Amino acid sequence: MGIPYTGRFAPSPTGLLHAGSLVAALASWLDARAHGGQWQVRIEDVDTPRCVPGADQAILQQLAVCGLVPDGSVLRQSQRDEHYAAALQTLVEKGWAYPCGCSRKDIELAAAHSVARHQAAVYPGTCRHGLNGKPARAWRLNVQAVQNALGLPTLTHWSDRRLGPQQQNVCDEVGDFVLRRADGLWAYQLAVVVDDAAQGITHVVRGQDLADNTARQIVLQAALDLPSPKYLHTAVVLGENGEKLSKQNGALALDLSDPLAALQQAAQVLGLPIQPKQDNFLSQALAAWSDKYLLHDQGLRAVAPSQSRTQSCMG
Ligand code: GLU
Distance 188 CA to ligand 1 centre (A): 8
pLDDT for the residue 309 = 38
Q: Does residue 1 have a pLDDT over 80?
A: no
State residue 44's pLDDT score.
Answer: 98
pLDDT score, position 114? 58
pLDDT at position 306 is 40
In angstroms, the CA 294 to CA 280 distance is 21
- Average pLDDT of 182-207? 97
Give the pLDDT confidence score for residue 133 in this predicted structure. Answer: 86
Ligand 1 within 6 A of 206 CB?
Answer: yes
Ligand 1 center from residue 215 Cα (angstroms): 15
In short, whether 10's Cβ falls inside 6 Å of ligand 1 is yes
Amino acid 62 reads: Q
177 neighbors 189 (Cβ within 8 angstroms):
yes
249-278 pLDDT per residue, tens: 777 888 888 999 999 999 999 999 887 766
Average pLDDT along the chain = 89
The per-residue pLDDT for 82 is: 98
Lowest mean pLDDT among 9-23, 74-88, 103-117: 103-117
* 37 pocket-lining for ligand 1 (C-beta < 6 Å): no
* H or E element, residue 310: helix 307-310
User: What does the pLDDT average to over 135-160?
Assistant: 96
> What mean pLDDT do residues 285-304 have?
72
pLDDT the model gives residue 297: 67
Tell me the mean pLDDT in the region 93-112.
87
Whole-number Å distance, alpha carbon 96 to ligand 1 midpoint, is: 25
For residue 311, the model assigns a pLDDT of 36
8 Cβ below 6 A of ligand 1:
no
CA–CA dist 15, 210 (Å, integer)? 18
Q: What is the mean pLDDT of residues 50-65?
A: 96
Q: CB within 8 A of 41, min separation 6: which ones?
A: 8, 9, 10, 11, 60, 63, 70, 74, 75
pLDDT of res. 244? 74
What is the per-residue pLDDT for 256? 87
Q: Whose CA is nearest to atom 7 of ligand 1?
A: 10
Position 42 scores a pLDDT of 98
Radius of gyration of the chain from Cα atoms? 20
Atom of ligand 1 nearest to the CA of 207: 8
Of the candidate ranges 32-41, 114-123, 125-134, the one whose mean pLDDT is the lowest? 114-123
Q: Which of 77-81, 195-199, 259-263 has the lowest mean pLDDT?
A: 259-263
Q: In this predicted structure, what is the pLDDT of residue 36?
A: 95
The answer, as to whether pTM is greater than 0.75, is yes
Tens of pLDDT, residue by residue over 233-251, are 999 988 777 777 777 777 7
Query: For residue 154, what pLDDT band results from cuts at 50, 70 and 90?
Result: very high
Supply the pLDDT for residue 146: 98
* 1 Cβ contact partners less than 8 Å away, ≥ 6 residues apart: 36
Q: Which residue among 43, 206, 228 has the greatest number of ligand 1 atoms within 8 angstroms of its CB, and so is best to mutate?
A: 206
* Ligand 1 within 6 A of CB of 11: yes
- Residue 296's pLDDT is 65
Alpha helices in 35-164 (DSSP H): 55-65, 81-93, 104-114, 143-150
Does 44 sit in the ligand 1 pocket, CB within 6 Å? yes
**192 CA distance to ligand 1 middle (Å):** 8
